[in-house]
Amino acid sequence: MHRSAWLFVAASATVGCAMAQTTSPAPFPDSRITLSAEALFSWYKSSPTPVPIVTDDYITSPSVNVLLGGGSVDTNPNYGFRLTGAYRVDANLGMELTGFYMPSRSTSSSASSSGQLGSTDMLLPYIDAATNKETYTEISFSPQYSGFAQTTLDDNLGGFELNATWSLSPQGGWKVDLIGGFRFLQLRESYTIQTSSPYIPPYPANDIWNTTDSFDTKNRFYGVQVGARAWYDDGPWVGGVYGKLALGGMQENVSINGFLETNDFNNYGAAQVFPGGYFALPTNSGDHSRSTFAVVPEVGLNVGYRLTPQATVYVGYSFLYASNVVRPGEQINRTLNTTQNVAWTGDPSVKPSGPPQPTFNFSTTDFWAQTLSVGLAYRF
């Protein structure tokens, strides 16, 4: 109890996005090189945050309100860009390289209490490893200390593809390409929990008691892929559909860290930093990595209009799915042995005892992204 007396993407985001190359109409006989650029607008599957972080009552109370955690969160919509270069070797064989980047976005939620008489106490519920029963610690405690808590999700996406294409014989206005190559996807996310519980007058006004728990995940997918695309090309308007399937390995990494910043143990002088927060304790902190099999299918469609024989503008839609992804909020274990660090014991001379909890176990889910794209392709 506190002193009371957060394609991989897959999604790498690749997510999204229909490949510029897949949106490109067939090259003219005198056009060997095509360059294209796209703006991407993506909506990702929400990141699960199932653990209740802050409540206003005992977690089993019928009237409890979960103020933070206990659901899911997202940064939608997400914005980025994709660049594609294609080279036509001959009438049948082509090579294409595509890379995309979705800059980091973050979203936060917070709750606070003044700690004054009559204010609502903010509670952090957990399961006591010694008794296996629900209990809690106070983030704010009237009338001794106020409380503030904030959760933040940050995500970042990127990746590339290198493909060979083989054009089949045209049938009327329809053209078909077979696709085969390599795909890399990356999805990085972090879920950070920060709390502050300073004393309020008549207790020392310069008190500091801040905790941080950080759960970071990184998914990297490396795989081979096959697919096909078909489009109709007759006049200024062109349109097509495509599908791809990548099979390979997903490298999953989870990094857990936490710390307490306080001046309670040096007569309220400069703040001292102690390892461990509320959920990030010695038994689960550190880097955890493994590799597992994953599949990354993607489908999309697009429509384009030729401004000139060389320049085409187009819009597209795609849906991308990735299996076996770790997401940060699901890596939190709320079964805690609170003898392990200062944030719980309120005593810098920590003497751990009891079961080694929380333990760490990989928790995986899936990821999907829907993306709208607007682009321009130019042939040389």
Contact assessment for residue 181 and residue 224, using Cβ atoms and an 8 Å cutoff: yes
Identify the three-state secondary structure at position 102: strand
Higher pLDDT, 17 or 252: 252
Residue 4 lies in a domain: no
Q: Which residues of 42-58 are buried (b: 16+ CB within 10 A; e: fewer)?
A: bbbbebbbebbbbbbbe
**Residue 3: predicted pLDDT:** 43
Residue 1 lies in a domain: no
Residue ranges making up the domain that contains 305: 11-379
Residue 304 lies in a domain: yes
- DSSP secondary-structure letter at 329? G
**Residue 30: predicted pLDDT:** 54
For 59-97, write each residue's pLDDT tens digit. Answer: 999 999 999 999 999 999 999 999 999 999 999 999 999
For 270-293, write each residue's pLDDT tens digit. Answer: 999 999 999 999 999 999 999 999
For 34-55, write each residue's pLDDT tens digit. Answer: 999 999 999 999 999 999 999 9
Q: What is the mean pLDDT of residues 110-115?
A: 97
Give the total number of structural domains in the chain.
1
Total residues belonging to the chain = 380
Residue 214 forms beta bridges with which residues?
Answer: 192, 257
For 243-261, write each residue's pLDDT tens digit. Answer: 999 999 999 999 999 999 9
Q: What's the rounded Cα separation, in Å, for the pair 133 and 32?
A: 68
The share of the chain scoring above pLDDT 70, in percent, equals 92
Backbone angles phi, psi at 344, to 5 degrees: -95, -45
Mean predicted lDDT score pLDDT of the chain = 91
- Asked if residue 146 has pLDDT above 90, the reply is yes
Q: What's the rounded Cα separation, in Å, for the pair 331 and 236?
A: 51
For position 88, which CATH number holds? 2.40.128.90
Residue 6 lies in a domain: no
Q: What is the mean pLDDT of residues 110-124?
A: 96
Q: What's the rounded Cα separation, in Å, for the pair 300 and 118?
A: 56
Beta-carbon contacts of residue 350 (< 8 Å; ≥ 6 apart): 339, 340, 341, 342
Q: Which residues of 216-235 are buried (b: 16+ CB within 10 A; e: fewer)?
A: bbbbbbbbebebbbbbbbee
- Asked if residue 6 has pLDDT above 90, the reply is no
- Banded model confidence at residue 185, pLDDT cuts 50, 70, 90: very high
Residue 225 lies in a domain: yes
Residue 131 lies in a domain: yes
Q: How far is CA 176 from CA 84, 115, 223, in A?
A: 19, 68, 23
Residue 52 lies in a domain: yes
Find the range with the poorest average confidence among 27-41, 99-113, 259-273, 289-303. Answer: 27-41
Residue 3 lies in a domain: no
For 308-362, write each residue's pLDDT tens digit. Answer: 989 999 999 999 999 999 999 999 999 999 999 999 999 998 899 999 999 999 9
- Banded model confidence at residue 172, pLDDT cuts 50, 70, 90: confident
